[in-house]
Amino acid sequence: MNQSLKLANNCVSLRRMDQVSSDENLMLDYSRGDADAFEVLYHRHKGPLYRFILRQSGPRYADELFQDIWLRVISSRTSYKIKSTFKTWLYHIARNRIIDNYRRQNIRPLENHAETLSTIRDTDRVQPENQLEARHQHERLMQAIAELPNEQREVFLLKEEAGLALNEIADITGVTYEAAKSRLRYAMKKLRQRLEFNHE
């Protein structure tokens, strides 16, 4: 009974932490030894981060990169300081790790691997198997995203999957705000054109 009560109290505590604590404060709490703070951070960001990695690197490297990025978050906890949002910091780590993987494996970004990305399904959102049109629409979108130039795809995914603001995207990718804005605008234009063309 005591164990059940303790578990229930812990769940309530985690829910409260998830509702009221900012990412930055959670990371600071984690740096001071609060493992529950890390658990909340992980659950907040695991889905969007994994999708970003998957659509940048493909399924062959996604799991390894995902684990490695979180290990880097863990190993950096004692030196963490709030210099930007936690999301900006996290995706900066992710982007650098993806680029390192390109170099180490001597591979190019997934600019010409539309057939790989078009098969990736978004497991965190409902895609009813029995609704053929929904599946086709999703596949068309994945195909269109895969065919974007790498710089445009990266900005699009940081915006749509990670939910980052343009100034954060500019910081992560090392370009000006205007350049990030331009890349996103071109990406959206190309996606609209491609989806409208496919729909006809």
Give the CATH number for residue 123.
1.10.1740.10
Global pTM reads: 0.73
Domain of residue 133 covers 7-199
Q: What is the pLDDT of residue 15?
A: 54
103, part of any domain: yes
pLDDT at 144: 87
Nearest to 99 by CA among 53, 59, 60, 148: 53
The size of the chain, in residues, is 200
Counting as low any pLDDT under 50, the low residues of the chain are 1, 5, 7-9, 11-12, 111-130, 200
d(CA 97, CA 22): 25
Q: What is the pLDDT of residue 102?
A: 84
Question: 2 lies in a domain?
Answer: no
